[in-house]
C-alpha cells in the first residue's frame, strides 16, 4: 500500500484471502521512530490511580486517628469509637468510588468524598444513639474535617501527578487506531489538541478508501473495501482478524475505532469479543469534540446503545446565580484592592499625561455593546498609530498582536505582564456587563467578521479570565482561542469557573503569554 512506513526491516505481506482483507506485516519494533513526540514516546508502566488514592486515604485516616486521641484522650470510649470510624473511612470511600475506568480513571471523585462524609455522619449518629456514647463532639468534627480535607487533597495531587505523567507521554496505553485514512487523520488531530491524554497512538490499521494515510504514525495493517457478492460473514471474520494481527504486531493494549469505520453493528460486536479474549480494550471515536463528560449520558433502546449529548446552554436560574456570584465577589475584591487601584492609577498618570483609565467598546452577550475599562498601558495616540503597525504585527486570524509594540508605555509593560491593567474590569463585572470567567470580550470589528462558529462565543457573558487566559493567552492562535472559548461556553459549570479562577492566579504570577 502506497505511503505505508517501513518498520525496521523489509515489509512482508500476509494475505488473509484472495479478495478480502489484507494485512501488511514486518518486524515488531519496541519503539516506532518518527512522528510527533506524543506518538513516539515509549509507554511506561501504567499509573496505579486507585492504589495511590487508597494509600493517601490510609494516611489521612491515620492523621484523623492521631487528631482524635490528641483532643479526646481522657474520654477513651469516644476516642476509640471515633478512631474506628476514621479507620473505616478508606473502605467507605473505596465502596463509594467503585472501580475506576482503566483508561479514564474516576469521575466525580469530589462528589464521592462528600457522599462518603454524609454516610459517615449518619453511621456516627446511629452509633451514638445505640451505644449511648457522645460521638458527635469536637473530636468527631475535627476527625471528619481532617478526613474530608485530606481525601480531597489526595485526589487533587493524584490527578495532578497523573496529568503530569500523561503530558510526558507516560502512564498511557499503546493504542492502534482503526478506520478510513481521512477519519484516522481527523482523530489524531483531535487527540493531539491537548497535552494530557490516556492513549498513545503507536500505529494505524487503515480501511482503504483511496485517501493517503497519515504520515505521523506507521500503518501496520490495511483492510480492502468489500467486493460485491462477497459473503458477509466471511468478510466480517477477515476484518476482525486483520485488526487482531495489527494489534498483536504493535503490542497494543487499546484499539480505537474512528468515526466512519466499517466496524459497526454485529461486526463491531465481534471485534469486542476478539479483543476481550486478548485482554485489549476497545474505544470508539464518534467524531465529537469539546463536549464535557457531565453533558454525556449512555442509555439503551432495544438492543441499541445511545449517547445522549445534553443541551449546552445553561438555564435562566443558573445564569442568574452566576451573575449574582460575580457581582458579590467583584464588589468585595474592589473594596479590598482599592488602595492598589489608586496606586496604579497614580503611576499611570505620572508616566504619561493622558487619562489613567482606558475605555474601549467591546461586544458582550448576545452581541450587545458595552464600554470596557482598563488601566491605560499605551500612549494617548495609540489608536491613531494602529494602522501603520498592522503590517508589523503578529496577526493571526482576526486578532492584532505585537510582541514589541512601540505604543506600550514603560509602566504599561509591567501592568500587562501581571495582568494588573485588567483590574478595572471588575467594575464591568459589578455592572453585569462582564463575568469573572468567560470568553474573551471581542472588538466590534472582530465580531463583524465572525463566521457562524465564532458567533457562538456571544451566547455567554465575556469574562476577565477564561480557558484562553490559562492556556497561553496571547501565544494562542485565533483558531485555538475560538475553540477554547466555545469549549467553555458549551460545557460551563460552577466547578469549572472555580478551577479556572485558581489556574488564573498561577498564570498571572508566571506571566505566561502576556505582552
Instruction: Report the pLDDT value the prediction gives residue 474, as an integer from 0 to 100.
Output: 58
At the top level of CATH, which class does the domain 12-43+172-289 belong to?
A: alpha beta
Mean pLDDT across the chain: 78
| pLDDT over 80 at 423, yes or no | yes
pLDDT per position as a tens digit, 38-55: 344 444 455 677 778 888
Across the range 359-366, mean pLDDT stands at 93
Residue 242 contacts residue 216 (beta carbons within 8 Å): no
* Model pLDDT, residue 235: 81
* Grid coordinates given for 250: 504493535
For residues 254, 255, 258, 260, the Cα torsion angle rounded to the nearest 10 degrees is -160
Strand partners, 254: 175, 281
pLDDT value at position 478?
A: 77
Cα 485 to Cα 130: distance, rounded to the nearest angstrom: 55
Q: What percent of the chain has pLDDT over 70?
A: 76
pLDDT of 492 higher than 70: yes
Residue 352 phi, psi (nearest 5): -145, 155
Res 292 pLDDT > 90: no
pLDDT at 503: 82
DSSP states along 15-30: ES-SSS-EEEE----S
pLDDT score for 27: 36
Which range (327-336, 433-442, 469-478, 489-498) has the least confidence?
469-478
Most confident of 233-237, 275-279, 449-453: 275-279
Model pLDDT, residue 66:
80
Render 181-236 in DSSP notation, one character per residue. HHHHHHHHHHHTTSS--SEEEEEEEEE-SSSPPPSSS-EEEEEPPPPTT--HHHHH
| Mean pLDDT calculated for residue range 154-172 | 81
What gap in Å lies between CA 429 and CA 431, rounded to an integer? Answer: 5
Read out DSSP for 114-127?
HHHHHHHHHHHHHH
pLDDT for the residue numbered 51: 78
Whether residue 16 has pLDDT greater than 70:
no
Q: Is the pLDDT of residue 497 over 70?
A: yes
- State residue 133's pLDDT score: 63
Higher-pLDDT residue of 194 and 410 is 410
- The pLDDT tens digits of the residues spanning 170-184 come to 778 899 999 999 999
Higher pLDDT, 479 or 509: 479
∠ Cα 429 432 434 (to 5°): 50
> CA–CA separation, 149 vs 170, rounded Å?
29
User: Mean of the pLDDT values across residues 382-390?
Assistant: 63
Predicted pLDDT of residue 12: 30
**SS3 state of residue 435:** strand
pLDDT tens digit sequence for 247-260: 999 999 999 999 88
**Burial profile 218-228: b = 16 or more Cβ within 10 angstroms, e = fewer:** bbbbbbbebee
In whole angstroms, what is the distance from residue 369 CA to residue 376 CA?
A: 20
The pLDDT assigned to 361 comes to 94
For the cut 70, the answer to whether the pLDDT of residue 396 exceeds it is no
204 pLDDT higher than 90: yes
Q: Which residues have CB under 8 Å from 294's CB, separation 6+? A: 310, 491, 493
Q: Beta partners for 175? A: 201, 254
Residues 352-371 have a mean pLDDT of: 91
Neighbour-count burial of 403, counting CB atoms closer than 10 A to its CB (0-12 exposed, 13-18 middle, 19+ buried): exposed
Query: Mean pLDDT throughout 303-332?
Result: 86
For residue 31, what pLDDT is reported? 31
pLDDT value for 401: 63
Q: What is the pLDDT of residue 116?
A: 79
Residue 266 has pLDDT above 80, yes or no: yes
In this prediction, residue 60 carries a pLDDT of 85
Every domain of the chain with CATH number 3.40.50 lies at 12-43+172-289
Bridge partners, residue 255, by sequence: 176, 282
- In this predicted structure, the answer to whether residue 95 has a pLDDT above a threshold of 90 is no
CA–CA dist 343, 331 (Å, integer): 19
Give 285: exposed, middle or buried? Use CB within 10 Å, 0-12, 13-18, 19+.
buried
Alpha carbon distance 414, 420 (integer Å) = 8
Amino acid at each position: 500500500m502506497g505511503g505505508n512506513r517501513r518498520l525496521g526491516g523489509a515489509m512482508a505481506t500476509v494475505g488473509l484471502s484472495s479478495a478480502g482483507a489484507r494485512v501488511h506485516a514486518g518486524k515488531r519494533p519496541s519503539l516506532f521512530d518518527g512522528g510527533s513526540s506524543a506518538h513516539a514516546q515509549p509507554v511506561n508502566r501504567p499509573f496505579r490511580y486507585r492504589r495511590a488514592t487508597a494509600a493517601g486515604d490510609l494516611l489521612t485516616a491515620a492523621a484523623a486517628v492521631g487528631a482524635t486521641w490528641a483532643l479526646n484522650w481522657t474520654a477513651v470510649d469516644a476516642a476509640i469509637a471515633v478512631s474506628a470510624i476514621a479507620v473505616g473511612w478508606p473502605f467507605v470511600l473505596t465502596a463509594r468510588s467503585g472501580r475506576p475506568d482503566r483508561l479514564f480513571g474516576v469521575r466525580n471523585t469530589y462528589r464521592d468524598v462528600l457522599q462518603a462524609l454524609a454516610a459517615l455522619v449518619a453511621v456516627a449518629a446511629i452509633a451514638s444513639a445505640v451505644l449511648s456514647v457522645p460521638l458527635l463532639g469536637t473530636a468527631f468534627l475535627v476527625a471528619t474535617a481532617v478526613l474530608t480535607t485530606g481525601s480531597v487533597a489526595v485526589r487533587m495531587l493524584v490527578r495532578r501527578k497523573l496529568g503530569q505523567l500523561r503530558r510526558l507521554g507516560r502512564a498511557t496505553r499503546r493504542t492502534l487506531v482503526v478506520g478510513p485514512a481521512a477519519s484516522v487523520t481527523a482523530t489524531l488531530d483531535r487527540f493531539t489538541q491537548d497535552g494530557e491524554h490516556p492513549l498513545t497512538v503507536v500505529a494505524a490499521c487503515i480501511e482503504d478508501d483511496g485517501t493517503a494515510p497519515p504520515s505521523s504514525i506507521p500503518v501496520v495493517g490495511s483492510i480492502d473495501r468489500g467486493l460485491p457478492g462477497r459473503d458477509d460473514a466471511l468478510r466480517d471474520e477477515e476484518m476482525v482478524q486483520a485488526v487482531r494481527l495489527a494489534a498483536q504486531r504493535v503490542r497494543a493494549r487499546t484499539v480505537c475505532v474512528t468515526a466512519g469505520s466499517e466496524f459497526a453493528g454485529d461486526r463491531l460486536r465481534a471485534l469486542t469479543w476478539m479483543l476481550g479474549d486478548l485482554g485489549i480494550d476497545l474505544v470508539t471515536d464518534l467524531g465529537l469534540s469539546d463536549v464535557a463528560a457531565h453533558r454525556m449520558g449512555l442509555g439503551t433502546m432495544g438492543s441499541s446503545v445511545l449517547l445522549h449529548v445534553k443541551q449546552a446552554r445553561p438555564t435562566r436560574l443558573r445564569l442568574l446565580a452566576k451573575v449574582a456570584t460575580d457581582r458579590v465577589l467583584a464588589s468585595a475584591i474592589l473594596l479590598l484592592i482599592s488602595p492598589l487601584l489608586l496606586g496604579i492609577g497614580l503611576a499611570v498618570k505620572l508616566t504619561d499625561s493622558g487619562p489613567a483609565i482606558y475605555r474601549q467598546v467591546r461586544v458582550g452577550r448576545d452581541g450587545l455593546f458595552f464600554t470596557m475599562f482598563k488601566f491605560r498601558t499605551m500612549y494617548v495616540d495609540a489608536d491613531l498609530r494602529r494602522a501603520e503597525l498592522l503590517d508589523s504585527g503578529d496577526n493571526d486570524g482576526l486578532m492584532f498582536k505585537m510582541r514589541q509594540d512601540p505604543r506600550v508605555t514603560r509602566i504599561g509593560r509591567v501592568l500587562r505582564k501581571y495582568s494588573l491593567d485588567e483590574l478595572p474590569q471588575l467594575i464591568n463585572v459589578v455592572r453585569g456587563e462582564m463575568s469573572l470567567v468567560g470568553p474573551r470580550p471581542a472588538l466590534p470589528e472582530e465580531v463583524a467578521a465572525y463566521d457562524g462558529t465564532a458567533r457562538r462565543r456571544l451566547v455567554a457573558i465575556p469574562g476577565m479570565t477564561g480557558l484562553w487566559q490559562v492556556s497561553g493567552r496571547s501565544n494562542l492562535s485565533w483558531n485555538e482561542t475560538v475553540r477554547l472559548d466555545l469549549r467553555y461556553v458549551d460545557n460551563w459549570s460552577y466547578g469549572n469557573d472555580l478551577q479556572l479562577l485558581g489556574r488564573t492566579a498561577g498564570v498571572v504570577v508566571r506571566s505566561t503569554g502576556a505582552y
